[in-house]
């Protein structure tokens, strides 16, 4: 037969509270472990996405990402030289070039 509220002694109540506190601490510890594991999984997933994107771009390296490589230029060297030859920049360069030779 279960005890009523008045039948419990101070020692019984203290034991029950200690047991509840122990269960609560275990639950908190478990929840912290789950949160830590979830954070770790999220970090691994993020790194995995980065690795996948780097691996998908590996065909572009080493020169594929170079700004000044010939395959990445919009205008060829000949087109650029032809355009520059008609500007004042080029005329000034030609005039000053001989002065810079030491």
Q: Over its length of 102 residues, how does the chain's per-residue pLDDT go in tens digits? A: 566 767 888 899 999 999 999 999 999 999 999 999 999 988 888 877 767 777 676 666 665 556 656 666 677 778 888 888 878 888 888 888 777 665
Question: How far is 19 from 28, CA to CA, in rounded Å?
Answer: 14
Question: How far is 90 from 43, CA to CA, in rounded Å?
Answer: 53
Q: For tokens 């080029």, name the residue.
A: 90
Question: How far is 21 from 6, CA to CA, in rounded Å?
Answer: 22
Q: Give the other-Cβ count within 10 Å of 90's Cβ.
A: 13
pTM of the model: 0.40
């Amino acid at each position: 037969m279960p005890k009523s509220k008045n039948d419990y002694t101070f020692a019984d109540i203290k034991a029950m509270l200690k047991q509840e506190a122990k269960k609560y601490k275990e639950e908190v510890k478990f929840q912290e472990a789950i949160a830590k594991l979830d954070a770790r999984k999220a970090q691994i997933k993020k790194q995995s996405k980065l690795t996948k994107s780097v691996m998908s771009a590996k065909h572009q390296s080493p020169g594929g990402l170079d700004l000044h490589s010939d395959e990445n230029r919009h205008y060829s060297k000949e087109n650029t030289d032809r355009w520059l030859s008609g500007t004042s920049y080029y005329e000034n360069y030609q005039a000053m070039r001989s002065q810079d030779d030491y």
